[in-house]
Amino acid sequence: MMPNDKQSTAGNVVELQQMLHGPDLNELRTTYNGTYGASLLFYSKNMTYYIALFQQKNFWRVIKSQDATRAETIYKDFVRQTVQLSDVEIRRTQLAAQKAFTERLTAFSHDQANRLQADLDVERQQQTIVASQQQQSRGEAMALAQQKAAAQDRLRSAQRQVSELQRQMEIGLPSHCSCKPKISAHWRTVPPHYRNLMRDIYAASAAVLDSSHHCSRALTNQVS
């Protein structure tokens, strides 16, 4: 230590604190590392340099010197100390931030997993409903196809019966007779129960045709 240097004491700390707001103390350099810092200050009245080491603005080591080179050297050493002192503090801050970030990511992942599970549950439920509806539709389509086939069988049977009755009614008539009075006269000679039977067959044939068309439309809609 040079003769004009003075080791920091309670007096140096108090002295510097008292001069902080005065007009003659100038701050030349200050470095922060975490909550630690180092300052180089110059008191112009007596040409004295103050080199301070502090934490959270609280001075805990102060050295003063009138040698500018010496003051710069001490300041650089104090800066190096702030780097060392703040390493653990900075590391702790980084780890705390990483921990908080990881917790937020974990919470987000859990929330996303819950959302995906809810969507999957809805999808499975809907698939079950659709499968049931498809099975029911296939059963109805099969029943309609059977009904259509049965209706067509009834239609063909009725048409055969009509053709047979017409053939029996036209026995003894000219082949291509277009004389309406003769046909009407012949119709009047048909016994009443045959005439009634013919009307019933024509009505049944029309009903079967309507039923067949209805079944075909229903089957087409169901399958599509």
pLDDT, tens only, 92-102:
888 889 889 88
Mean local confidence (pLDDT), 169-179: 66
174 occurs within a structural domain? yes
Token couple for 9: 């004491």
Q: How confident is the model at residue 84 (pLDDT cuts 50, 70, 90)?
A: very high
Instruction: Please give the residue range of the domain that contains residue 204.
Output: 137-223
The count of structural domains within the chain is 2
Q: Indicate whether 112 belongs to any domain.
A: no
Q: Which domain-ending residue is among 68, 95, 122? A: 95
**pLDDT of 55 above 90:** yes
Q: Where would I find the beta strands (DSSP E) of the chain?
A: 25-33, 36-43, 48-55, 58-65
What does the CA dihedral 142, 143, 144, 146 come to, rounded to 10 degrees? 90
Is residue 18 domain-shared with residue 91, that is, in the same domain? Answer: yes
pLDDT at 193: 62
Q: What is the pTM of this model?
A: 0.46
Amino acid at 52: A
